[in-house]
Amino acid sequence: MKNNLKFVALILILSLAAACQPVPTPEADTETPQPTDPPAPPIISEDNADTLRVVLSEAISPGAVNINWTADGDAFWAEDLYTVLLHDAENAAEIGRFVPGMYSAIYDISPDGKTVAYAVETDDIRLYDMESEEDKVVITTEFPYSTAFFSPDGKTLAVPSVMDIKVVFFDTSSGEETGSASGFSTAAPVYSATYSPDGKTLLWFSRGTVQPMDIATGTMGPILSHEDFVSHQRVSPDGNVVATTAAGMVDGEFQPLLTLWNANDGNIMARKALPTYYTAISFSPDSQLIAAGTEAGIVIFTSPFGEKIAQYDTSEPVADLEFSPDGSRLAVVSDMGLLQMYTP
């Protein structure tokens, strides 16, 4: 009997001891932190265009005449008469170079920044691959031409013929002719054309005449006539506005003018006179702004009604300027090759 009581007492003591032990807390399920994308940079807009600051200033190429972004916005290329330089967009470091020689003509660089259209002494147009550093395609034309330019998707090279007023299209992967466009009329034998950013419009120009054409249908749009030679012409990304620069009469005085035209009916929506000549123009990707380079600096207007919302002086005349594909930066190059990058 005593043994049974001792056994029962032992069981009670062990049970009480177990009850007094802390109960382990089950581990909570934890998820591995996922990397987050950095916040998108602010877009240059009507609200902040007058607060831009220079975040990058580098000498890149003396005598630069043209600057443009690659389609992804990671790089930009600068071009002078004999050299094409590809630069990293963050620090302006040179990441590619093409120098075809003195007896060459550089016509255009593809939107992705990887292909240069050029010629050396002959009528053949060569497409040079910046990555492999060799000509990948040779286009043989059967007509004299004045220039050549890529379509926005880089799949087509357009070549204006000097013999006829037409633009001939070539496939950039094969060099084969794929068609042509015509319908523009001019008394002057010197003319050219350019694509709209969406690739739907071909903008013809010759001296004081500019005219858009719908590529798909071949329909010619309104004739945009000027009092003087047109120095620059652009179609807005949404295709609704054509911007041109040419001198014209305002208040009895012949002045440099930026004119914003309705691309559909040819009506003038704005005319902006400046005391110094316009040297370059660029639409923002959303078509809401147009930046103009001048001999004295940069002026930013709204589009399509041309309200002046910002002005920045530069130490050297502007050779070219271009909004980045995402609209967050404005790259400006002077005629002495100084690059300056503006952001909000």
pLDDT in tens, 160-186: 998 899 999 999 999 999 999 999 998
The type of residue at 161 is S
Q: What is the structure's pLDDT at 30?
A: 58
Sequence ranges of the domains in the chain: 41-343
The tens digit of pLDDT for each residue in 225-267 reads: 999 999 999 999 999 999 999 999 988 899 999 999 999 999 9
Cis peptide bond N-terminal to 304, omega within 30 = yes
Mean pLDDT taken over the chain: 89
Q: What is the structure's pLDDT at 205?
A: 96
Residue 64 pLDDT class (50, 70, 90 cuts): low
In angstroms, the CA 121 to CA 105 distance is: 8
Residue 57 pLDDT class (50, 70, 90 cuts): very high
In angstroms, the CA 193 to CA 186 distance is: 13
Class of domain 41-343: mainly beta
Q: For residue 126, give the nearest of 104, 151, 146 by alpha carbon.
A: 104
3-class secondary structure, 67? strand
Average pLDDT (274-279) is 92
The tens digit of pLDDT for each residue in 279-323 reads: 999 999 999 999 999 999 999 999 999 999 999 999 999 999 999
> For residues 229-246, b (16+ Cβ closer than 10 Å) or e, as one string?
ebbbbbbbbbbebbbbbb
Q: For residue 245, give the nearest of 235, 255, 234, 259 by alpha carbon.
A: 259
CA distances from 148 to 151, 166, 289 (A): 10, 12, 28
For the whole model, what pTM was predicted?
A: 0.86
The type of residue at 109 is I
Q: What is the structure's pLDDT at 12?
A: 42
